[in-house]
């Protein structure tokens, strides 16, 4: 063909034919060289990508595009390289010149190709659905099936004019390539005798073929992932389990991920050819799978089918039965293992665990710091606290609020209960637990003092993280993270002394993530002079546990002017409900008459839980109670009101009824 007869469209088609005659799964350097020649011949990225994607080791479009962009037009490789590579691969140039004619591949011809490449029709991808329909079912007599001791189920044999990479594929075994949803995407052609496997031109092999049947969601099933059909045949026969053809080692990772999503209950085992051990081990780690390796000393590329033919199915079955697994971060426990775990270890029985994060909180003036000191003193000494057993431990009390008064509180406590235990330490200097340096210094000081695995109390949380917006989730998250870091360093329990919000009924002040992060919480409440603590959160404990207490004024000395110095200490009180069983009920007289009348009156009451009474407990106002019960008394009418008042007073003193803020209710 003379220069004047040059046809750009035909030259592009010729270049495309040469490209698809090459093996896209060649070494990377050869693959890049083919890309350079492809670009020089005027073909575009779509051509090169379509060809590259048919390889078993295709790394994806992103990698393909990155290499394409890096190829320069003056890279030193021209279009002649593409044709030379194709001829070396057995390509026949149907447009070859007649004898004596020459072909020019200079810059002008290349420019002409690029000028017309957009107008050149692209070859249509193979219609794999129509091709598959035209194929006959494979039999056990096909040469490849016989040679590999395989199974023909699900496969077909092609008998037609199709040529791939210059090879006629009539008589080739056809292995379908399905998407995970069962859609036919492509096909692989395998010769009956020795020869290369060929992938359908222009179609991606990003799919799989399953030898055997996978149950719903893979329940109770092991899936063996193999590079090719021969290995899958052998694994299926040896393990009596489904085996998946991934169409090359490069596609095993994508197949493992797709199978994990589709069959979440199945165990996946990658079967590595000799030399691919590290490749499969990495995929197994990244996709939570297992893997098996060929016997040590196997020659390169030795695979499961080779082992099947050399050593037999029993040997292969033994290999497949012992896959390797990466250590798992999470350990799943059986019910028996869960039941055998040790129970919660308590620092204060039913209230505070030995380890974790806890809070003691209440409104200002509720006495929470006095209660915290009382509880920590019990922990340091190992003595019971409000009737709860206590396991002794060292205590570090970081008093950041009311520093001036902490000395007086300690003196008052010691006046009442004796000296604090030697395992009790205090820190009064300011710090910010969000700062790594402050945490490190605190840990260092604690360890130097012998503190380990005890109770670290931060009073208050607000002072331990100065300036933090407690209502902001990010700020509270930072505080929680800092608290956990301290707990991890020192062990034991970190106790946060904290405030309630404006609405005390809503609990801890600040973002709700704090309450969620706690292992235990103690709420302190106050109604007039009545104070009570309650286990507001206690994992594996009793959330209803609680006791009333009072603050008793203690004189601890005199100041320089001779004025009395006082502080307070916690004194447990008996909950009214706990005393009911010990109350001696009246057996006669006016108190018995009035008590019976009150019971009848309370049955008709429409008032419940008034004046801080128990929710759901019927209540009646004092004046109404006097007016409606006095008529039952057998005395002078002028004396009935007075006698009713005396009877009610006696009942309150006996503990039979409660009087608070003008409301009465039964205990």
- Calpha distance 417→404 (Å, rounded): 21
54-72 residue pLDDT tens = 776 777 788 888 889 888 8
Residue range 47-58, pLDDT digits in tens: 888 888 777 677
- Of residues 266, 268, 190, the one with CA closest to residue 235: 268
In the sheet that 267-271 helps form, which strands lie side by side, from edge to edge? 209-211, 243-245, 222-226, 267-271, 290-292, 324-325
Sheet holding 395-399, edge to edge: 424-427, 395-399, 455-459, 493-499, 356-362, 520-527, 530-538, 546-558, 564-572
Residues of the chain with CATH 1.10.10: 579-666
Residues of the chain with CATH 3.40.50.300: 346-573
pLDDT higher than threshold 60 for residue 1: no
pLDDT of residue 106: 47
Predicted confidence (pLDDT) at residue 304 exceeds the cutoff of 90: yes
| Confidence bin at 99 (pLDDT 50/70/90) | very low
Task: DSSP for 507-522, please give it.
Answer: -BSS-THHHHH-SEEE
CA distances from 446 to 232, 431, 455, 456 (A): 62, 14, 11, 9
The answer to whether residues 551 and 568 touch, using CB atoms and an 8 Å cutoff, is yes
The predicted-structure confidence for 125-141, as pLDDT tens digits, reads as follows 789 999 999 999 999 99
Find the mean pLDDT for residues 32-36: 89
Is residue 541's pLDDT more than 80? no
Band of residue 105 on the pLDDT scale cut at 50, 70, 90: very low
Residue 538: pLDDT band (50, 70, 90) is confident
- Measure the CA–CA gap between 663 and 607, rounded to whole angstroms: 10
Considering only CA atoms, give the Rg of the chain: 43
Tell me the β-bridge partners of 138.
Answer: none
Of the candidate ranges 215-229, 268-282, 573-587, the one whose mean pLDDT is the lowest: 573-587
State pLDDT tens for residues 212-243.
999 988 988 999 999 999 999 999 999 999 99
Lowest mean pLDDT among 16-20, 196-200, 354-358: 16-20
For 148-157, 296-305, 332-341, 641-650, which range has the lowest pLDDT when averaged over its residues?
A: 332-341
Query: Is residue 491's pLDDT more than 60?
Result: yes
Residue 574: what pLDDT? 63
Q: What's the mean pLDDT when you consider all of the chain?
A: 86
For residue 597, give both structure tokens. 């009348």
Query: Under a CB-based contact definition with an 8 Å cutoff, are residues 250 and 59 in contact?
Result: yes
Question: d(Cα 280, Cα 58) in Å, to the nearest integer?
Answer: 16
The fraction of the chain above a pLDDT of 70, given in percent, is 90
Would the pLDDT of 292 be above 90?
yes
Tokens of 549: 């207490």
Beta bridge partners of 358: 495, 520
Q: For the stretch 454-490, what's the b/e string if a residue is b when 16 or more beta carbons lie within 10 angstroms of its beta carbon?
A: bbbbbbbbbbbbeebebeeeebbeebbebbebbbeeb
Mean pLDDT computed over 192-210: 89
Tell me which of 3.10.450.240, 3.40.50.150, 3.40.50.300, 1.10.3720.10 is the CATH number of domain 346-573: 3.40.50.300
Alpha carbon of 476 to those of 9, 92, 263, 438, 520: distances in Å? 68, 73, 40, 18, 17
Question: Among candidates 362, 296, 355, 303, which has minimal Cα distance to 504?
Answer: 362
Query: Regarding the domain delimited by 579-666, which CATH topology (the fold level of the hierarchy) does it fall under?
Result: Arc Repressor Mutant, subunit A (1.10.10)
Helix H segments across 540-639?
576-579, 589-603, 622-629
pLDDT of residue 111: 52
Residue 209 parent element (H or E): strand 209-211
Burial of 376 (0-12, 13-18, 19+ CB in 10 A): buried
Fold of 128-325: Dna Topoisomerase Vi A Subunit; Chain: A, domain 2 (3.40.1360)
Q: How many residues are given for the chain?
A: 667
Where in the sequence of the chain do the CATH 3.40.1360.10 domains occur? 128-325
- Token couple for 104: 């020019």
pLDDT confidence of residue 204:
83
With beta carbons less than 8 A apart as the criterion, state whether 231 and 186 touch.
no
**Cα-based distances in Å from 388 to 382, 524, 548:** 11, 17, 14
- H and E: helices and strands count for the chain: 24, 28
């Amino acid at each position: 063909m003379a220069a004047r007869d040059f046809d750009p469209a035909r030259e592009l088609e010729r270049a495309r034919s040469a490209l698809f005659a090459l093996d896209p799964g060649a070494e990377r350097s050869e693959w890049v060289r083919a890309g350079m020649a492809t670009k020089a011949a005027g073909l575009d990225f779509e051509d090169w990508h379509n060809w590259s994607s048919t390889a078993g080791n295709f790394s994806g479009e992103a990698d393909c595009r990155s290499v394409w962009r890096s190829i320069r037009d003056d890279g030193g490789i021209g279009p002649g390289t593409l044709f030379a590579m194709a001829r070396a691969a057995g390509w026949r140039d149907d447009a070859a010149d007649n004898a004596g004619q020459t072909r020019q591949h200079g810059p002008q011809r290349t420019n002409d190709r690029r000028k017309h490449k957009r107008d050149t029709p692209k070859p249509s991808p193979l219609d794999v659905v129509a091709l598959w329909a035209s194929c006959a079912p494979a039999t056990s007599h096909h040469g490849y099936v016989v040679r590999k001791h395989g199974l023909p189920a699900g496969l077909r044999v092609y008998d037609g004019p199709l040529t791939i990479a210059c090879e006629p594929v009539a008589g080739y075994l056809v292995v379908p390539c399905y998407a995970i949803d069962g859609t036919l995407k492509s096909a692989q052609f395998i010769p009956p005798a020795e020869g290369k496997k060929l992938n359908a031109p222009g179609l991606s092999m990003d799919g799989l073929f399953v030898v055997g049947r996978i149950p719903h969601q893979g329940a109770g099933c092991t899936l063996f992932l193999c590079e090719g059909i021969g290995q899958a045949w052998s694994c299926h026969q040896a393990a009596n389990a489904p085996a998946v053809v991934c169409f090359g080692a490069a596609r095993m990772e994508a197949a493992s991920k797709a199978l994990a999503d589709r069959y979440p209950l199945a165990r996946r085992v990658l079967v590595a050819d000799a030399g691919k051990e590290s490749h499969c081990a990495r995929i197994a780690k990244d996709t939570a799978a297992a893997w098996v390796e060929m016997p040590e000393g196997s020659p390169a590329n030795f695979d499961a089918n080779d082992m099947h033919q050399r050593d037999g199915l029993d040997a292969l079955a033994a290999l497949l039965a012992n896959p390797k697994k990466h250590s798992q971060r999470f350990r799943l426990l059986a019910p028996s293992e869960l039941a055998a775990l040790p129970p919660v270890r308590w620092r204060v029985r039913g209230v505070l665990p030995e380890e974790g994060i806890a809070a003691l909180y209440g409104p200002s003036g509720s006495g929470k710091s006095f209660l915290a000191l009382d509880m920590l003193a019990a922990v340091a000494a190992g003595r019971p606290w409000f009737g709860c057993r206590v396991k002794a431990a060292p205590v570090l009390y970081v008093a950041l609020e009311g520093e001036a008064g902490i000395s007086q509180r300690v003196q008052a406590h010691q006046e009442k209960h004796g000296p604090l235990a030697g395992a009790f330490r205090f820190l009064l200097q300011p710090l910010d637990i969000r700062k790594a340096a402050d945490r490190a210094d605190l840990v260092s000081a604690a360890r130097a003092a012998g503190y380990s695995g005890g109770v670290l109390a931060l009073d208050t949380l607000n002072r331990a993280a100065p300036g933090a917006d407690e209502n902001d989730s990010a700020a509270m998250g930072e505080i929680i993270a800092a608290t956990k870091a301290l707990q991890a360093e020192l062990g034991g329990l970190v106790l946060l002394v904290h405030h309630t919000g404006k609405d005390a009924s809503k609990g801890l002040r600040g973002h709700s993530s704090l309450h969620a992060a706690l292992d235990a919480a103690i709420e302190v409440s106050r109604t007039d002079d009545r104070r009570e603590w309650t286990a507001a959160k206690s994992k594996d404990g009793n959330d209803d546990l609680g006791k009333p207490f009072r603050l008793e004024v203690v004189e601890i000395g005199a100041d320089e002017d001779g004025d009395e110095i006082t502080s307070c200490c916690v004194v447990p009180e008996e909950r009214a409900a706990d005393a009911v069983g010990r109350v001696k009920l009246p057996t006669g007289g006016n108190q018995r008459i009035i008590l019976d009348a009150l019971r009848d009156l309370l049955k008709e009451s429409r008032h419940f839980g008034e004046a801080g009474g128990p929710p759901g407990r019927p209540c009646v106002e004092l004046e109404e109670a006097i007016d409606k019960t006095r008529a039952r008394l057998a005395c002078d009418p002028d004396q009935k009101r007075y006698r009713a008042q005396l009877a009610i007073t006696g009942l309150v003193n006996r503990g039979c009824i409660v009087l608070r803020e003008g409301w009465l209710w039964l205990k």
